[in-house]
A = this chain, B = another copy of it.
Amino acid sequence: MALSHAILALLIDNPYSGYDLAKDFDQSVNFFWTASHQQIYRELGKLEDQQWVEVEQVEQEGRPDKKLYHITEAGKTHLLEWLLKSCEPMPIKEDLLVKLWAGNLMVSLPEPSKPVSALVEETQRHRQLHAEKLTVFQRIKSEFYPTPADLTIGQTFHYLVLRRGIRYEEDAIAWCDEVLEALANHSGRAV
């Protein structure tokens, strides 16, 4: 299980509260992992039990207090050991692909135009979502890594992960365009 490792990886550079981890997993670093706040709070508890993180209570004015989690030396050692093990690529599980595959169902319907147009709209919606993520990732790139050739090796690691996110969203957008073009070509002619 890699949620614990993803959390530890984020804690290397800065301490985080559970709330902030959830926000980053949802917004800026969701090109390498995602998790809900419930998963994160539970996982932080386990990490604390293992003494891979330490808690610092921070009192705030006008806001609830928060718990800042710091990675420990034992936590770093644990992460390093995990780094040396092999791991498998993420399997694809994409609802939209299942829907397109099942699009066959609609070919034989008496009135096929309506559900097919639903798939077109869904593809356009996904294209939009991917474009929004790409915009976020590109903003991070121009803000933090404007000249990739000049990065230290430490910065390069983060930059390469961001590159995966950028490539992934670009590729998803290009595929959505392929789908939209192919379905548009077919709507003009006989089934």
The answer, yes or no, to whether A186 is at the interface (CB within 8 Å) is yes
Tell me which of B93, B160, B164, B183 contacts A34 (CB under 8 A). B93
Q: Are B33 and A130 in contact (CB under 8 A)?
A: no
Q: Are B87 and A90 in contact (CB under 8 A)?
A: no
Cβ proximity bits A85-101 to B, threshold 8 Å, 1 near / 0 not: 01111111111111111
The answer, yes or no, to whether A74 is at the interface (CB within 8 Å) is no
Dominant SS at the A interface? helix
Cβ proximity bits A6-19 to B, threshold 8 Å, 1 near / 0 not: 10111011000000
Shortest A12–chain B CB gap in Å is 6
The answer, yes or no, to whether A76 is at the interface (CB within 8 Å) is yes
Number of interface residues of A (CB under 8 A): 73
Chain copies in complex: 2
Tell me which of B13, B32, B104 contacts A97 (CB under 8 A). B32
Q: Are B179 and A160 in contact (CB under 8 A)?
A: yes
Q: How far is the CA of A155 from the CA of B119 in the complex (A)?
A: 15
Q: Are B12 and A98 in contact (CB under 8 A)?
A: no
In the complex, the chain B residue whose C-beta lies closest to that of A157 is B103
The answer, yes or no, to whether A58 is at the interface (CB within 8 Å) is no
Shortest A155–chain B CB gap in Å is 9
The answer, yes or no, to whether A144 is at the interface (CB within 8 Å) is no
Q: Are B161 and A167 in contact (CB under 8 A)?
A: no
The answer, yes or no, to whether A139 is at the interface (CB within 8 Å) is no
Q: Closest 7 A-B residue pairs measured CB to CB?
A: A32-B97, A87-B95, A103-B157, A34-B91, A9-B102, A153-B186, A171-B171
